Amino acid sequence: MFKKIFKYCCKPFVRFWHWYKNLFHGRPWYVKLLAGFVSLLVLFIVWLGMVDINFLWLFGKSPGYMSGLEPQISQASEIYSADGKLIGKFFNENRTPVKYDEVNPSFWKALIDTEDERYYDRPRGYAIDFWGMLAAAKDAVLHHDARGASTITQQLAKNMYKMRSNNSTGLLGNIPGLKMLIVKTKEWIIATKLETIYNKEEILTMYANTVDFGSNAFGIKTACKTYFNTTPKELPTEQSAVLVGMLKATTTYNPITHYENSLKRRNVVLANMVRKDHLKQAEYDSISKLPIKLEFSVETNYDGEAQYFREAISDYLSDWCNDNGYDLYNSGLKIYTTIDTRMQKYAEEAAIKQMRQVQRNFDSHWGNNQPWVDERGKVIPDFIDGIVERLPIYKHLQEKFPNDPDSVLYYLHKPHMVKLFDYEKGTIEREMSTIDSVKYMVKFMHCAFVAMEPQTGHVKAWVGDIDFNSWKYDKVTAMRQPGSTFKLFVYTEAMNQGLTPCDKRRDELISLDVWDKQKGKEVTWRPGNANGYFTGDSMPLRAAFAKSINSVAVRLGQEMGIKRIIETAHKMGIESPLDDAPSLALGASDVNLLEMVNAYCTIADDGRHHKPVLVTSILDKDGKEVYIGPSNYEQAIPYKSAFLMQEMLKGGLTQPGGTSQSLWGYVGNAPDCEWGGKTGTSNNHSDAWFMGVSPKLVVGAWVGGEYRCIHFRTGALGQGSRTALPICGYFLEALLKDPAFKHYHARFPKPKDADITPDMYDCNNYYNYEPNDSLLNDSLFDEQEIMLDENGNPIEIPIELDEEDGGAPVQEHNINLEDL
């Protein structure tokens, strides 16, 4: 049965074979020659068809005919500021496409004269230069400097589609010699498709945008910037010739690494232009004698402005890119952000100016002593070793010397050239061991700053630390204890529950029985005030908040309920988990600066909460808008509560003893702008904060050590009003002097609701405290949260390194405070 079917199927082939043989049998030689030629032509066409359709999966995948309409190339995504400046890029291949008329014509002439001199002579649809192939074969046989046989369109096909991978050559690609034949065949097919779809100028443009010029410069625009710091439009003839000359071999003819080769190749390109009448002989004689003038600068992902902010953009858009099928580093997006480069400049200058002074104070304060100490002031043993053991070099040495710890220690202590940070010179190099370099770098104090518009949530300035090249970790999103700045939520919840700034609470000792998980029993917690004593007086909440009285805040926390305070904080913008414990009223739970600034914006915008916005819109590579930043908001707290808290914050500057009064030294020359503020300092002065609030702008700053065990030992140097407040102050001073930001000058409006009366918030100023020169500075108390045990002694806070978190600093209380 099967034999019959096989014979039946083979009959047409047998008949065809007999017919084909008869074409040659007994025929004249010219008939045989013609039949052979036609046979080869038919076989060639069949071969092309089989390769193109991947017949029986033998030849690998090929792009379909219409896929050439949208060539898939990696394009850099560009990041723009709110004031229209390009501040950076995301890219794997640094490429920014240009249009044909954006390139100097001399480049096109040099390119065609050198790479494909018959480019315009071939009709549209003809991508193969057969004369060029014959000439290349002749040169190869005669051992001349062989020219390339590929046309520009063929080179474009090779650049656009990776034809030499295993997926593109199929099963037959494993046969030696056949793989190259399949690759060249596909290049011919794709090139022909491109010629039928695009005109000559479009093909040239795509080629110039896809070609690799070396040094991570992809495309003509990036190459012009990298090698000559110019644009394709302004590219002179001699520089065009250098770039075209590199196309033969980007390494061999690179002007950076092989200057003489590049110079000779440039002149060859210029000679080609003379031969094709695109350059006069006199011009050649003049230009060919010129040296190659370079302004070389390789662009990286870290180049540009606002580096910490740009890294935050990457995280901000990560989920959106995954959900919508975009690659931030390849999709050629135009990302329009909220940052203002002028405000960013003011912020960075303010941070450096203040932190330079903070560092001087810190170095003078500790002298030759090691600043990594525990709660008893003792140097933490093996602290530096713990950091070193998390470094890549340590792991590398362990792998190299697995059973030889002495060799590991030898190389860790061996001096070598290392890059370090210096306030005066930026990045410096010194001969120093790995151990000593860690000791040097760990002694630096760090900072973060954010400015945000409360009506939109737009982030206008973002400083993640003092130097991005030295510390990539962004302190804006670092988790640290907020200290007294967290009292905002305690008092806001009090306003929610009907209290007003003029209601009073007594400043007196409060004792709470709390559960200590570590000891497994109840202990007595007696939080103290920063000045070490209680006045015993009944004071308005406005004064207690302005002076940051701990006893009143803790009492309010118990009255209002910690769970309610947590709920309010989350509604206002805090996203971090908060501990349900009495100490939360004094800022015992970690938060980050971004969410704190965002939460303070809720007060400034009359109780409306806008999530932080970093990006306003995104265009794809074709200019289509594919993303619009959020503009929605929620009424997080009642308007009345927000208005009363605005008055409370203003009290930080206007109330006697207010901890934010020194801000007047920076904003006092702008009487048409009204400000409120709140300082914060955590235990042991590990974290110093300041939050500044106005109707149109909210600012926040944090200052502290990289590790919480590195800090000032006195409030006179380490409190928020001393370290963090001046960063905001310097920024605001510069901003308010700039006429371009006149729109930020504003005063808080009068109450909109008739049920809000002056007697609720306009209290007689309360003033009752005794100066203490060790704690008092310009009428500002050091507001470190002091906690007392059952015997009235301060509770210290030990510092430990959490090994599971890569050695990130964590802070644990001797007692774990739980709600009653």
The contacts of residue 749 (CB under 8 Å, 6+ apart) are 695
State the pLDDT confidence band at 178, using cuts at 50, 70 and 90: confident
pLDDT more than 90, % of the chain = 65
Residue 781 has pLDDT above 50, yes or no: no
CA distance 28 to 34: 10
Q: Which two tokens stand for residue 640?
A: 């009345």
The predicted structure's pLDDT at residue 772:
37
The predicted structure's pLDDT at residue 763:
87
State the pLDDT confidence band at 416, using cuts at 50, 70 and 90: very high
State the pLDDT confidence band at 816, using cuts at 50, 70 and 90: very low
Check: CB of residue 579 under 8 Å from CB of residue 566: no
Segment among 70-74, 317-321, 361-365, 549-553 with least mean pLDDT: 70-74
* Mean predicted confidence (pLDDT) in 615-628: 96
The predicted structure's pLDDT at residue 743:
96
Residue 148 has pLDDT above 90, yes or no: no
CA distance 120 to 193: 17
Name beta bridge partners: 428: 420
Segment among 37-41, 380-384, 723-727 with least mean pLDDT: 37-41
Across 546-562, b (16+ Cβ under 10 Å) vs e yields bbbbbbbbbbbbeebeb
The predicted structure's pLDDT at residue 53:
63
Check: CB of residue 642 under 8 Å from CB of residue 607: yes
Q: What is the pLDDT of residues 651-709, one digit of tens each?
A: 999 999 999 999 999 998 898 999 999 999 998 899 999 999 999 999 999 999 999 99
The predicted structure's pLDDT at residue 125:
67
Segment among 273-277, 441-445, 714-718 with least mean pLDDT: 714-718
Residue 768 has pLDDT above 70, yes or no: no
Across 741-766, b (16+ Cβ under 10 Å) vs e yields beebbeebeebeeeebeeebbebeeb
691: closest CA among 664, 657, 738, 728?
Answer: 728
* Mean pLDDT for the chain overall: 86
The predicted structure's pLDDT at residue 800:
31
Segment among 115-124, 463-472, 670-679 with least mean pLDDT: 115-124
Amino acid type, 556: L
Rounded to whole angstroms, what are the CA distances from 330 to 204, 334, 476, 717? Answer: 22, 12, 27, 48
Residue 589 has pLDDT above 50, yes or no: yes
Helix or strand run (H / E) with residue 160 = helix 152-160
Residue 336 has pLDDT above 80, yes or no: yes
The predicted structure's pLDDT at residue 72:
67
The predicted structure's pLDDT at residue 465:
97
Residue 166 has pLDDT above 90, yes or no: no
CA distance 229 to 272: 26
Give the global pTM. Answer: 0.81
